[in-house]
């Protein structure tokens, strides 16, 4: 005799989620119903992150709880957090591809650094000067001052942050492929700093 779960699954089998999942569509629809909602940047960010992940890994985002292609990071500590716990918190969390090394950039006051958070206890880790070439997720903490932007240039990369938006939780994430060469980073009005990438 089947149990109730078998019976229910038989009555309505699970539809194909891949055909219907569309987070940028949710943001666009939210924007339709709210004047002045700062959604354009969010759509652009979500789309560019998904596109970058596609380019980097050749497969769409997947957030199954096991074997996840994406992991969540608590930006205040730099530590990975459980996807379930991340979904229950209202604090900002950052999504990065699993297995990608994570770098952090901050632009508070006169300091602007890119730090390697992997070995640091907090995400304000030691500033980097040398890196191995490869895929990285760079999490940039955005300062609320709209006149300031963080920029990174180097082989194959020319990026600048968009102005602060509370909707982003004050962070922007770039998925980057760093190639050998010299990269320069700066905050508006401050002298640039550099780091080297080696093969």
Partner 1 sequence: MATKPGASLLSIELVYRAQFARFLHVATAITGDAERGADAVQEAFAKAVRRRLDFRREGSLEGWLWRTVVNCARDQVRRPQRSSSTPEPVVPTEPDHDRLRSWIAQLPERQRLVLFLRYYADLDYRQIAHALGIRTGTVAAALNAAHAALRPLLESTEVPHHA
**Binding-site ranges for partner 1 (CB under 8 A):** 1-17, 19-23, 25-27, 29-30, 32-34, 37, 42, 46, 61, 63-65, 70, 72, 83-84, 86-95, 167-169
Shortest distance, position 105 Cβ to partner 1, whole Å:
18
Distances (CA, A) of 23 to 32, 34, 151, 177: 14, 17, 27, 25
Backbone angles phi, psi at 196, to 5 degrees: -105, 140
- Which C-beta is closer to partner 1: that of 20 or that of 130? 20
Alpha-carbon distance 58 to 70, whole Å? 14
Structure tokens at 33: 């119903």
- Which C-beta is closer to partner 1: that of 27 or that of 176? 27
Give residues with Cβ within 8 angstroms of 152, minimum separation 6: 105, 114, 138, 158, 159, 160, 174, 176, 183, 184, 185
Start-end of H helices in 82-129? 83-88
- Which C-beta is closer to partner 1: that of 63 or that of 194? 63
Considering only CA atoms, give the Rg of the chain: 19
- Which C-beta is closer to partner 1: that of 94 or that of 175? 94
- Which C-beta is closer to partner 1: that of 72 or that of 149? 72
Shortest distance, position 120 Cβ to partner 1, whole Å:
22
Shortest distance, position 113 Cβ to partner 1, whole Å:
23
- Which C-beta is closer to partner 1: that of 7 or that of 118? 7
Using a 10 angstrom Cβ sphere, with 0-12 exposed, 13-18 middle and 19 or more buried, the burial of residue 56 is: middle
């Amino acid at each position: 005799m089947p149990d109730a779960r078998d019976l229910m699954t038989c009555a309505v089998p699970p539809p194909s989620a891949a055909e219907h999942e569309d987070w940028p569509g949710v943001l666009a629809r939210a924007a339709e119903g709210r004047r002045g909602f700062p959604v354009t940047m969010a759509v652009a960010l979500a789309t560019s992150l998904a596109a970058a992940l596609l380019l980097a890994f050749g497969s769409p985002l997947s957030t199954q709880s096991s074997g996840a292609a994406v992991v969540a990071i608590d930006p205040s500590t730099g530590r990975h957090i459980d996807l379930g716990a991340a979904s229950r918190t209202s604090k900002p969390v950052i999504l990065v591809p699993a297995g990608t090394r994570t770098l952090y950039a901050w632009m508070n006051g006169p300091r602007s650094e890119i730090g390697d958070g992997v070995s640091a206890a907090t995400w304000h880790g030691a500033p980097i000067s040398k890196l191995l070439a490869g895929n990285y997720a760079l999490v940039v903490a955005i300062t609320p001052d709209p006149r300031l932007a963080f920029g990174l240039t180097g082989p194959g990369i020319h990026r600048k942050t968009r102005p602060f938006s509370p909707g982003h939780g004050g962070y922007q994430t770039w998925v980057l492929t760093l190639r050998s060469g010299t990269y320069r980073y700066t905050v508006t009005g401050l002298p640039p700093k550099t780091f080297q990438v080696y093969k």
